[in-house]
């Protein structure tokens, strides 16, 4: 085994040990708890395996990056960072898509609740029917938690407020708090149906607004991603056709300064464009 391969494996092992260190033993004090940064995204993406398997997958990506750095002139640190961040970026992107589908399903759940209320069912029974007819796990989860607390003896309005505080989606939080206020006001079934319909109409309006913003910004976002892909391809083409540029990029200043800075700037540009769109949608 060459020295470069041994150094790459040692660096990958060191990064893996640093990742596993917070989970090696429980905290000494029960007041100090170390939460996994990807726990929420993994739960939303329906990851049902232990966290150590997820970190083993991350360690495998880091090791693959270390092996790849041996065959390329690019710096080892860049591959290690990319291997460590790639699983988190993928699972967070997938979780965001799942949350988006849950937002749409929440509106349908409220429509089903409204229909059950107008047919004469009580609010708990209407929520049970709507949750039973919904196939989206994230959409029905806060309502199921509130109904479970209600079955255990908690007041329904208090259970809905508690579930609203735990909900990550602001739309679901608004719906739960509105239902809690309606229950606290002791509205009759027909008025409760009107209240649920108003909440569903608001969520539907926000969905249409989000879709319009996404449609208007789709071209800009595609151009940003396309430019992010064109620049490295152009740099590779120039490196192959211009020997002096290839020699500059092969030197330490190119490997450790120019290429990493260019990659960081491209990532910042893509993230900034996505954040601007998300800010407009909020």
pTM of the predicted protein model: 0.67
Output 17 or 142, whichever has higher pLDDT. Answer: 142
For residue 119, is pLDDT > 60?
yes
Percentage of the chain surpassing pLDDT 90?
A: 10
Q: Domains of the chain: which residue ranges?
A: 105-207
pLDDT tens digits for range 48-64:
888 888 889 999 988 88
Confidence class for position 40, pLDDT limits 50, 70, 90: confident
Cβ-contact 117, 196 below 8 angstroms: yes
CA atoms within 13 A on the CB side of 241: 6
Cα–Cα distance measured from residue 271 to residue 189, given in angstroms and rounded to the nearest whole number? 46
Q: Is the dihedral of CA 36, 41, 43, 46 positive or negative?
A: negative
């Amino acid at each position: 085994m060459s020295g470069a391969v041994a150094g790459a494996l040692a660096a990958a092992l060191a990064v893996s040990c640093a990742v596993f260190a917070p989970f090696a033993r429980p905290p000494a004090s029960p007041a100090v708890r170390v939460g996994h940064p990807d726990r929420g995204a993994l739960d939303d993406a329906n990851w049902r395996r232990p966290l150590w398997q997820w970190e083993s997958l991350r360690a495998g990506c880091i090791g693959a990056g270390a092996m790849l750095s041996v065959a390329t002139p690019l710096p080892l640190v860049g591959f290690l960072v990319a291997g460590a961040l790639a699983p988190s970026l993928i699972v967070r992107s997938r979780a965001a898509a799942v949350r988006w589908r849950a937002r749409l399903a929440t509106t349908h759940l409220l429509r089903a609740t409204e229909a059950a209320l107008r047919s004469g069912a009580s609010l708990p029974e209407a929520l049970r029917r709507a949750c039973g007819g919904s196939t989206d796990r994230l959409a029905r989860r806060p309502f199921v938690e509130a109904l479970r607390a209600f079955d255990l003896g908690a007041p329904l309005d208090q259970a809905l407020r508690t579930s609203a505080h735990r909900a990550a989606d602001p739309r679901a939080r608004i719906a739960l708090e509105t239902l809690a206020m309606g229950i606290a006001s002791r509205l009759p079934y027909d008025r409760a149906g009107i209240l649920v319909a108003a909440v569903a109409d608001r969520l539907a309006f926000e969905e249409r607004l989000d879709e319009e913003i996404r449609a208007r910004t789709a071209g800009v976002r595609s151009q940003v991603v396309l430019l992010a892909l064109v620049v490295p391809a152009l740099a590779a083409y120039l490196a192959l056709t211009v020997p002096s540029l290839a020699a500059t990029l092969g030197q330490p200043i190119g490997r450790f300064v120019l290429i990493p800075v260019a990659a960081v700037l491209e990532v910042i540009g893509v993230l900034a464009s996505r954040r601007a769109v998300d800010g407009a949608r909020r």
